[in-house]
Structure 1
Amino acid sequence: MKLALVTETYPPEINGVAMTLSQLVAGLREKGHQVQVVRPLQTSETCEPTSKPDSITVSGLPIPRYPDLRFGLPSRNRLIHSWQKSRPDIVHVATEGPLGLSAIRAAKRMGIPSTSTFHTNFHSYSEHYNAKFATRLVLAFLRWIHNQTESTMAPTQELADQLAAEGFRNTAVFGRGVNLKVFNPQARDQGLRRSWGADPETPVIIHVSRLAAEKNYSLLLKSYKAILHACPNAKFVIVGGGPMESALKRDFPFAIFPGAIPLENRPALARLYASSDIFLYPSKTETYGNVATEAMACGNALVGFDYAAPGQHIKQGITGFKADLDDDESFVEHGLKLATNTQLRREIGLAASGYSEAFDWQPIVDRFESILFQVKAENEMALLP
């Protein structure tokens, strides 16, 4: 199969979408498929746009409020010209920007089936940027884009059902995974813990994410302060980069900030997870939350909300704790319970890592492949006389 995968973000950019797509591309290529990645030139690239069998780059502009990320400019005619030379069997659009929309239109013009993934709850971000009035408008725009493709894939059945209820057609589920060869408890580094001032009994609380307003950092700060009051020796590690980084360093003066870890250096990130004990994940805007399952695989006791990855994988009080979406106080209490009970957090961390076989990437790649094959076959059937 020849696949053109169109995305606004791709490694070395650091975010869950880029990581997921790199795993899918690698997995499909290992299975013998030809994958061409279509993306905008990144901020670090100064070359002109290029067209190659495995990659097409286009011009782009910075995304508002995310200056280190770019969206691709519409490139319909250029894609048609390139795909006429080497026609893909299917076009998969991973992000809903101008580049993705132009790819869908190019595919339709050429009679190539297209699919899409719903990676990011952009419509739910609006209230974090003083634009709550725009929620329904943004959702309608996303629905309009996705319904131009033959299938919209979501990471969980819960989200697929929500999208279907909002009028998204032909939804499917293919999930997310974790590289278990990298993310596991064996990455724990006592020397790193000592550099943080933590001995084996010290509770170390970690948070890993893109540092942006929609991640609910006011609740993280409330949780950290409650833990610090009960456990003055607790250590806090906040990993990542983004527009909120400077503000968070000001608001969390007691925390350790290792910075953003490049996607090509996943073992360094695993070392940070595994050297910690508790992962607090206060976000309420995720479609999935790859960091939650990475943390569990490394043996962290996870605290999150009952939706997305935490809702799907946390067995309450066994592999972590989850709170109802409207219950911030329970979220704080769960974090405090783990921080003040060494035996409990160790038992839950051990159970979480033991559950991690559920995160294996290979079945995820296989499921993605099967959806593409199904759409391709249905399109070929529709063309028969």
Structure 2
Amino acid sequence: MKTGNQAPTDMKHIVIATETFTPEINGVANTLQHLCHGLMQRGHQVSVVRPRQQNEARGPVAGAGTALFSDEYVVTGLPLPGYSDLRLGITRAATLRKLWQQKQPDALYVATQGPLGIAAVTAAKKLGIPVSSGFHTNFHTYSKYYGAGFLAKLICAYGRWFHNRTAITLVPTRKMEQTLRTMGITPTGVWSRGVDCNRFAPHKRNAELRATWGLAPQDRAVMYVGRLASEKNLQMAVACFERLRALHTRSRFVLIGDGPLRKRLAERHPDYIFCGIQQGEALARHYASGDIFLFPSKTDTFGNVVTEAMASGLAVVAYDDAAASEHIRQDENGMKAALDDDSKFIDHALKLADQPTLLNRIRAQARLDALDLNWHRQIDQFEQLVLNTPQKAKYHAVNQSFSLL
């Protein structure tokens, strides 16, 4: 019989190794924040291993517990070449092995494939700790946007080598699962994403905020939320809005986020509204104060902003990929175009702007569907995949050679 102070017998100690974590602002950090919080709520002990973040003060490498984790271990952080907002974690496998020998974890989840991930997987395997990984970022497709497209094949080979050293690789959509199988990464499991429908909600629409954007109640705010960077296909968002504004002259383009393209966009389009990075309730108000949401990315593995927009009651226009491939039903709760059909992407946005009744119906249905996308269900799925997967299924891959084949 359990006493009042006794931990549940199924409580586990789970280590999450990641090269990005809150308060950094990106989809991976956001996902891991919800994951840690959900696991902690269920009584699990969660340890985070991460690099020291940009401008983070130096100090003791061990952190005290918070609402997100039981403890953390901070390693040296170096900027990722070409993507300085993210840091690479630098540590030795022997250092992590010594750390985990003191109190051996029940499972390791590696969220990123950098040097920290390699060291973590190596250390865990030496100790017999079950290892799972996540495919959160399409680095092989990012490469062409940073003048390194010639490295795509090498990056794919590296990803295959890295993930096939772990027992299972988690992906956010069924379409991404197919992509990884084509790359030769197996086995995989679908672990999707939830959305906080209490935070993101239509009732947070703010007339005063819209007025600062120069909008009357009947005018349309076309929204973009995310990193202002080349890999997000922002040129399509711009082309789409310009076509829409030619017909609906009082529409405004509102961009939330920051990145290397912000300065250039602001210089070329001084009439666009750049709100910078928004968080918490401010972000929720910005979402809810919009009308049409453009998600032009063809590189995201999921795109949390799609489900956040749906929860906020926006009509999403996206490509049939990532979150949209899973959650958008054409002409019902949003609009989606084939990946190779840019003209259809624009047509969908124009259709929403031209037909207020359709726009309002889609916005209402998007909110209703988002209510089913709760994080509780996704934490259940994570537990099943990470804590119950037979861990020796692929361990023959420990010594496999790095191959470009």
Task: Please report the TM-score for the alignment, with normalisation by the length of structure 1.
Answer: 0.95
2:106 alignment counterpart = 89
Unaligned 5+ runs, structure 2: 1-11, 64-69, 396-405
Give the structure with the larger helix fraction: 1
Q: Which of 358, 362, 367 is the aligned partner of 1:348?
A: 362
Please list the CA deviations of residues 19-68 of structure 1 after superposition, one character each: whole Å capped at 9, or x if unmatched: 00000000000000000000001112121351356100000111122223
2:172 alignment counterpart = 155
Question: How far 1:357 moved relative to its partner?
Answer: 2.0
Alpha-carbon distance in 1 for matches of 2:129, 2:392: 8
Alignment of 1:202-281 (within 5 A): 202-261=219-278, 265-281=279-295
Alignment of 1:18-29 (within 5 A): 18-29=29-40
Question: How far 1:196 moved relative to its partner?
Answer: 1.0
Aligned letter for 2:375? W
Alignment of 1:146-185 (within 5 A): 146-185=163-202
Does residue 125 of structure 2 align to residue 104 of structure 1?
no
2:203 alignment counterpart = 186
2:21 alignment counterpart = 10
User: What SS is found at the alignment partner of 1:369?
Assistant: helix
2:4 alignment counterpart = none
Aligned letter for 1:223? C
Does residue 311 of structure 2 align to residue 297 of structure 1?
yes
Alpha-carbon distance in 1 for matches of 2:212, 2:355: 23
Please list the CA deviations of residues 284-331 of structure 1 after superposition, one character each: whole Å capped at 9, or x if unmatched: 001011001100110000000011111211111111110000000010
Alpha-carbon distance in 2 for matches of 1:106, 1:49: 22
Alpha-carbon distance in 1 for matches of 2:328, 2:385: 27
Aligned letter for 2:207? Q
User: What SS is found at the alignment partner of 2:240?
Assistant: helix
Q: Is the 8 A contact 2:320 2:339 kept in 1?
A: yes
Q: Is the 8 A contact 2:310 2:366 kept in 1?
A: yes
Alpha-carbon distance in 2 for matches of 1:172, 1:114: 14
Alpha-carbon distance in 1 for matches of 2:323, 2:150: 27
* Percent identity over paired residues: 43
Greater mean alpha carbon deviation, residues 297-306 or residues 77-86: 77-86
Structure 1 stretches of 4+ moved >4 Å: 377-380
Q: Which of 296, 300, 311 is the aligned partner of 2:325?
A: 311
Aligned letter for 1:138? I
Q: Is the 8 A contact 2:315 2:362 kept in 1?
A: yes
Alpha-carbon distance in 2 for matches of 1:147, 1:22: 25
Q: Is the 8 A contact 2:175 2:325 kept in 1?
A: no
2:93 alignment counterpart = 76
Alpha-carbon distance in 1 for matches of 2:132, 2:269: 42
Aligned letter for 1:155? P
Count the aligned residue pairs: 377
Superposition RMSD in Å: 1.5
Alpha-carbon distance in 2 for matches of 1:247, 1:366: 43
Aligned letter for 2:212? S
Q: Is the 8 A contact 1:51 1:82 kept in 2?
A: no
Alpha-carbon distance in 2 for matches of 1:332, 1:56: 46
Aligned letter for 1:88? P
